[in-house]
Amino acid sequence: MIKSINPANGKEIKSYKEMSLEEIESIIIKANTAFLNWKDTDFSVKKSCMKKASHILKNKKEKYARLMTEEMGKPIKQSYAEVEKCAWVCDYFADNAETFLSDVIIDTEASNSFVTFQPLGVVLAIMPWNFPFWQVFRFAAPNLMAGNAGILKHSSNVTGSALAIEEIFREADFPENLFRTIIVSSKSVGEIINNKNISSVTITGSVPAGKSVAEKAGAVLKKTVLELGGSDPYLVLEDADLEQAATACVNSRLINGGQSCIAAKRFIIVESIYDEFEKLFLENMKSKKMGNPFDEQNDLGPQASIRLRNDLHKQVEKSIKKGAKLLLGGKIPKKKGAYYPPTILSNVKKGMPAYEEELFGPVVALIKVKDEEEGIKVANDTIFGLGAAVFTKDVKRGEEIAAKKLNAGCCFVNEFVKSDPRLPFGGIKESGYGRELSIFGIKEFVNVKTVYLK
């Protein structure tokens, strides 16, 4: 059985029977049949269905938000925002998919030559628990509008969310089997990837999970998009608006309990303003309230599970043993649930987990550097490359650093990194490859076909 556990109190929400490979095979066959009918469906029909999905999300925001908060512990006000963002991505691709996928005429010696875009088939999506709805909709909205079908293998602890999303697409009048959830453990993923009716795979998850999926998909030459971990650097320069920077940095670090691949994790501050920034950062972090995620006054709920909370605490302890200084938090509360307080580590150096690894929780690593040059070097000194930010009052300076000097897929100036349906999202190095969202994301799982007429 697959169990969903409420991380705020440790109580079982519901258990689900794992599907057999035979059941999964039947679901995939039905999804492929649905795809064969859907791929040539007019964009006006696709748009109508996707608009209905958006409408359902808006009308049932309370229901879906409470489900997410119960299953993985995010503060309820953030769950409301997540549902709203899912409705936005549905509307965005409903309105823009036809334009994004229109033929592109290219002048050659031919009487006519152009590029056309055709869907690949059934896309397997392996999704994580941290944003139970958003991670799925940012894959599903562009892919269903492109004419593909979707099979969702969600994280086990958010199975209720996975089934709710399937029901949303069914209620929105998409073909019954076009988007299906399979309830299965990770050990069966390899066999599912091998299924002849799976055309391609997308995964959001850890680096080891991404490498495993890429290896299995590569063995059968199936396209993959990988959105993996991150240890996002935020570079605070001597001319930054320190109050604005500290606020943005704290908000980024604590969003979703710090359990976000693009949450700020390493804060790199030039020494001339380090002490003042540290003071502002500490005051801001101390003001954040941790507690019942259903209480809208709280900024921080529990971590998604006791195991994940304990793993995070071990990283903090190891960093302290290696010389990091604990400024705030760092102690497991004596209360039920997977809670971990806002935590700040200073004097973070190379070789510490807080410097080298992804800290998936509300833990801050403060790093002092001499100047901009050293700051950029430290920012890029990571196996990851998902997001990065720079804070400076000189916007041209910030643009130069973000555009040319920081090695990441998403680089922001004077703002924390966030995903947006209008902008491509993804990373480099061990943060993965490929892009989601925008015109670039919708073209990941289509056949970019050349047509030449003489």
Residue-wise over 186-224: b if at least 16 C-beta within 10 A, else e? eebbeebbebebbbbbbbbbebebbebbbebbeeeebbb
- CB neighbourhood size of 62 (10 A): 12
Closest to 137 (Cα-Cα) out of 162, 156, 171, 159: 162
The rounded distance, in Å, linking the Cα atoms of 319 and 302 is 22
Asked about 261 being catalytic, the answer comes back as yes
Which of 71, 82, 227, 358 is the catalytic position? 227
Token match 């304990």: residue?
Answer: 310
The rounded distance, in Å, linking the Cα atoms of 253 and 267 is 10
**C-alpha to C-alpha distances, 178 to 34, 168, 174, 201, nearest whole angstrom:** 5, 12, 7, 16
CB-based burial label for 351 (10 Å; 0-12, 13-18, 19+): exposed
- Residue pair 122/151 in contact by the 8 Å Cβ criterion: yes
CB-based burial label for 20 (10 Å; 0-12, 13-18, 19+): exposed
- DSSP reduced 3-state for 197: coil
Which of 90, 249, 261, 410 is the catalytic position? 261
Biggest alpha carbon–alpha carbon distance for the chain: 76
Asked about 227 being catalytic, the answer comes back as yes
Question: Residue 422 has what DSSP assignment?
Answer: T
User: Can you give the C-alpha Rg of the chain in angstroms?
Assistant: 22
**C-alpha to C-alpha distances, 396 to 244, 281, 399, 414, nearest whole angstrom:** 18, 25, 5, 12
- Which backbone phi and psi does 450 adopt, to 5 degrees? -85, 130
Residue-wise over 32-42: b if at least 16 C-beta within 10 A, else e? bbbbeebeeee
State both tokens at 123: 């896309």
Q: For residue 80, how far is the Cα from the chain centroid?
A: 17
Strand boundaries in 90-197, DSSP class E = 104-105, 112-119, 122-126, 149-153, 179-181
- Residues with a catalytic annotation lie at 227, 261
